[in-house]
Amino acid sequence: MPTNLNGQAPTETSIEDFPLQDLYDFNGATLEDNITLDIAGKAKTITKGNGDTIEISPNFKGTLTNLDTADADTFDFVATGTIQRSENDDGTIDVTYNGLNLVGNPYLNPPDGEGDLGYALVQTRGHFYNTEDPAGTTPSEIFGPLEGNGQILYIVDDFGFFV
């Protein structure tokens, strides 16, 4: 009989020097700067009886580093929120972000409303949601627009650091 891991504490997780371009390549986008991601903290996925999942990440911290700048500009962040995923009958997935989360989405526009960033990485603070379609073949077919209440801090767009 399989062991239920839902009752166990989150485990230590870390990633060092992950090239952000890999994430952008996966999403069919181009990132002009050489940016790396380092993250560390505790993380856990809780699976509910209906198959929905809740991802928790207490004490999850990270750093994005732009290796193309003379001073190797960095951006430190925390992502201690929760992410809940619920599959719909049509195969799409409703995703809800609560608290502080690091989110990538191709529908994000700069705060001044001028132009389209393409695929962007942001930090959300509050309650946001979107719908994902795993059957899509491009980022705009996979990820629905990010909606909700709270603050969005634009961190990285196709051209590098936004902040």
Please check whether residue 4 lies inside any domain of the structure: no
pLDDT band at 115 (very low <50, low <70, confident <90, very high): very low
Q: Is the pLDDT of residue 23 over 70?
A: no
Total of domains in the chain: 1
Please check whether residue 6 lies inside any domain of the structure: no
Please check whether residue 107 lies inside any domain of the structure: yes
Q: What is the DSSP string of the chain?
A: -----TTSPPEEEEEEEEEHHHHHHHTT----S-EEEEEEEEEEEEEPTTS-EEEE-TT-EEEEEETTSTT--EEEEE---EEEEEE-TTS-EEEEEEEEEEEEETT---TT--S--SSEEEEEEEEEEEEE-TT-SSHHHHBPPPEEEEEEEEEEETTEE--
Please check whether residue 95 lies inside any domain of the structure: yes
- Can you give the residue range of the structural domain that contains 39? 11-161
Please check whether residue 144 lies inside any domain of the structure: yes
* pLDDT at 83 (0 to 100): 95
Please check whether residue 135 lies inside any domain of the structure: yes
Give 45-72 pLDDT, tens digit per residue.
Answer: 999 999 999 999 988 899 988 887 767 7
Q: Which residue has the higher pLDDT, 145 or 101?
A: 101
Please check whether residue 96 lies inside any domain of the structure: yes
Pairwise CA distance, residues 132 & 87, whole Å: 9
pTM: 0.80
Query: Which two three-digit tokens encode residue 153?
Result: 């801090």
pLDDT band at 5 (very low <50, low <70, confident <90, very high): low
* pLDDT at 24 (0 to 100): 65
